[in-house]
Amino acid sequence: MIYRVVIVVLIVALVVGALLMTNRTDSPTERAADEPLSEPGYAARDTEVVETGADGRELYRLKAELIRQRPDAGMIELERVQMDYSPPTESTSAPDGATPALWKVSALRGEVQESGERIRLSGSVNVTGPMPTAVQTIRLDTELLDIQPREQLITTDAPVTLTWTGQRLSSVGMIANLKDETVQLQSKVNGRFLP
């Protein structure tokens, strides 16, 4: 008789245990252990990356103190960025065989799409480069900047300041098309021109 009571108690305990196990929600650590691990990516310090255009010539050279790949987001994070950007010379004002203009770019942080189509820079972004059909250089300062190297577009929705030989223009938002040598200031444009 006692062994029947023990068997009944064991069966009841087994049923109750099974019910508790099926109604139980997994903790985040237990769920994470069951899920497949994402691809880890890579990280590197003091790195230089060179991207070439369709013609095989250097399009841009990125230097960063730290590069971290985020495969889950399809991008690469950068810290303390220096960039040399040489868009192909297709301008009607550029002589045949002209050396591409060199734009110098720096920022505290950046993100590059793994496809290389877009580079987003943030934090004390500074760009210097040649003014179209002139020997002068222009300086651009902002906190957020997108560069589409193959399309030769530089854009921002943030406040931006353009400075050259004593002249100064500020705006909120800008679209610079290096291929067409045009700059569109979007809103709240303010300028200071010295004679």
Residues composing the chain: 195
User: Model confidence over 79-135: pLDDT tens digits?
Assistant: 999 999 988 765 444 445 555 678 899 999 999 988 778 999 999 999 998 876 667
- Tokens representing residue 126 in the block: 């500074």
Q: What is the mean pLDDT of residues 149-155?
A: 90
List, in order of start, the domains of the chain with CATH numbers: 43-192 (2.60.450.10)
Query: What is this structure's pTM?
Result: 0.71
Identify which has the larger pLDDT, 64 or 38.
64
Written as one letter, the residue type at 23 is N
pLDDT at 27: 52
Contacts of 156 (CB under 8 A, 6+ apart): 142, 144, 145, 146, 173, 174
User: Model confidence over 8-27: pLDDT tens digits?
Assistant: 555 655 565 666 566 555 55
Nearest to 63 by CA among 126, 103, 110, 14: 110
Residue 12, φ and ψ in degrees, nearest 5: -60, -45
Please name the helix (run of DSSP H) or strand (run of DSSP E) that holds residue 129, with its range, or none: strand 119-130
